[in-house]
Structure 1
Amino acid sequence: MKYPLENLTDTEFEILVALICSEILGTGTIVFSDGKDGGRDAEFKGTANNFPSKASPWIGKIIIQAKHTQRNNASCSESDFQSILKISVVPAIKKLKIKNEIDYYLLFTNRKLSGVQHPKIEDIFDAETEIENRVIGLEQIELWLKQYPEIVKRLNLNKLLLPLSFDENDLRLIVNSFYNLDKKKGDLSKIPENRDIENKNKLNALSKEYFDNVIKKNLIYFEQIRRFLADPINKEYLDKYENTIDDINAKIIIHRTDFEKFEMILEFLYDFVIENNPELNNKRRLVRLFLNYMYYNCDIGINE
């Protein structure tokens, strides 16, 4: 999944970089407070865990710098970034070298970094400072976020995926109303037999593991949801339900490629609803139940 890191604040991006460094370098990564950083946002002293490789890790004083931009699709090849390197970064490294406070330099940026531009930037550092260095661009950061999903969770990076957000108030009202009913296990024989759920799962890239362990156990309540929505007395909630699935489906169609598997979409929607409606925390099972029902009932996702 790709996160719009340009929507982070500079401080949030620095924290992201520090968390990545805690993984690739070690927990000894020290983060400095905001303000004049003297060319460093964090540092690590010792033997790196696995950077640049596990076989040949850096050993010594590693200085870490984060250069964040709020521009979408920004690139390291652009003139403003080149100016930052020459006017700000290189002089800072030289000062650190004079003080014997640096052996290696790591520069993180959320800009795109091409295979052509990468060695050119490192050559600038090599020629000007003679300090071994690496430039980490957006592509590598995205790979590390996949490798270390706990960082995504700790920083709640899913909040950046606002294009998939929707007005969850209708779903909140539906859940609250359904919560007051006695939950009854339905007759599985009443679930439509002509539904090719295996094909739907394949079309939507929803894993068998997720279906068997999450959605399948909720099937026994789907008939009660169907009756609840079909009851004329609940027409108000049926209207809210139909508006909700219409909104969600439109968002999914537009942003489907941002999510590798469909269960990631369902779980994002679940987290979004719970985080924005703390009062549903003790009813969170019902939030997932309704999202599962939407999927199984072919109200969201690709059906053919």
Structure 2
Amino acid sequence: MMFRYEDLGDDQFEELIVLLCRHLLGVGVKGFAKGPDGGRDAKFVGTAQLMPSTAAPWVGTVIVQAKHTNGYNKSFSETDFYSAKSDKSVIGEEVLRVKKLRAASQLDHYMLFANRRLAGNAEQTITTFIAEATGVPVGSIYLCGIEQLESWLKQFPEVAKVARLDPVDSPLIVSPDELAEVVEAFAAHSALITETIDQPPEARTSYEVKNNLNQMTPEYAKLQRKLYLKDTAQIRAFLAAPENQHILRAYETAVEEFQLKIIAKRKDYQNFDAAMNYLVDLLFNRDPVLRQHKRLTRAVVFYMYWNCDIGLGVDDATA
């Protein structure tokens, strides 16, 4: 695979699709912009160069959608992306938007790109579903998954070169592997974690000072403390146990990566609430173990913050 698409940001993925569509449709492709319904579309008006073929090109208005995920090994067939029974899926919401654009004579053809695997049977099923729900002919709908995206980028290698997808410009992206090992070990000894204590330990930097340093809002800080403070003593004891040294090493590896990435991307967030929420959502999206143990994952991430392993502490602010 040419890119780790899951490590790109949404804007980077959109830029890649626009550059590719200028080869497939024409140089008149306009980049992604927010429409009246809040969706972000790219647009081409005219006669397409290559879509769906040079012998019978599309003519009219082509609307392009790019759906990016940070998740690993995702597919079009997953129910959050496509479900014939729900309009809350990604495809379900797209159908509603396409119907409005079609009714307003603002869409003749529709393309959807996603960094997901697209099997042949799924392509046929989803294309037929969109056609029947919107009135757009099957021949005017094009779905592109990772396999076809890779093929296009090999055919047009200059697209990747012009896109200059620099990892430095990517969003806060972390690996879930070490944290998953920690959470799975905790989950196997859940009695140690779920037991409530009356007097949890004091944080290394007072919670109030740390929250001010990191711009965590009082409401968010209060809720985090209420939900997860009771778990911190058990987590500390579990990590300190001699028989859990391998778990401690995994924890320290996760902390090191999280802290370095958060420091590098800190300016991207208005407050630490956003950084924490983005981090746990990314972790849930990337690892099934963490999705299975959501509360415990949040408790461990809170412990990292409470214990001054991530985020700024007094020593950092005075250094």
Q: How high is the TM-score relative to the length of structure 2?
A: 0.50
RMSD: 3.9
| 1:252 partnered with 2:262 | yes
Contact 1:245 1:300 in 2 (8 A): yes
Q: Does 1:167 align with 2:164?
A: no
**Gap change, CA 1:42 and 1:168, over 3 Å in 2:** closer
Q: 1:196 to 1:236 in 2, by over 3 A?
A: same
| Amino acid of the structure 2 residue aligned with 1:10 | I
Q: Please, which of 171, 174, 184 is the counterpart of residue 176 of structure 1?
A: 184
Number of positions where the alignment pairs a residue of Structure 1 with one of Structure 2 = 188
Taking every aligned residue pair, what percent have the same amino acid on both sides?
A: 26
> Which of 53, 61, 64 does residue 40 from structure 1 map onto?
61
Q: State the 1:163 CA deviation.
A: 4.7
State the SS of the aligned residue for 1:164.
Answer: coil
SS in 2 for 1:269: helix
Compare 217-226 and 266-275 and name the one that shifted more. 266-275
Is residue 188–residue 219 contact of structure 1 (8 Å, CA) maintained in 2?
no
- Is the partner of 1:191 in helix, strand or coil? coil
Large movers: runs of 4+ above 4 Å: 11-14, 30-39, 60-64, 160-163
Match of residue 12 from structure 2 = 6
Residues 1:162 and 1:236: Cα distance change in structure 2 (over 3 Å): farther
Structure 2 SS opposite 1:189:
coil
Alpha-carbon displacement from aligned partner over 1:232-270 (angstroms, at most 9, x marks no partner): 110001111111111111111111101111121111221
After superposition, where does 1:277-296 map in structure 2 within 5 Å?
277-296=287-306
**1:269 equivalent in structure 2:** 279
**TM-score when scaled to structure 1?**
0.52
Which residue type is aligned with residue 17 of structure 2?
D
Q: Quick one: distance in 2 between partners of 1:272 and 1:289?
A: 15
Q: Which residue of 1 aligns with 2:206?
A: 196
1:217 aligns with 2:262: no
Q: Give unmatched runs, 5+ long, in structure 2.
A: 1-8, 22-28, 65-103, 109-167, 315-319
1:246 match: secondary structure: helix
How far 1:7 sits from its partner (Å)? Answer: 2.6
Opposite residue 21 of structure 1, the aligned amino acid is G
What is the SS of the residue equivalent to 1:187?
Answer: coil
Contact 1:170-1:244 at 8 Å conserved across structures: yes
In the TM superposition, 1:14-163 aligns within 5 A as: 17=32, 20-23=34-37, 38=59, 40-42=61-63, 162-163=170-171
Identify unmatched segments of 5+ residues in structure 1: 44-59, 65-159
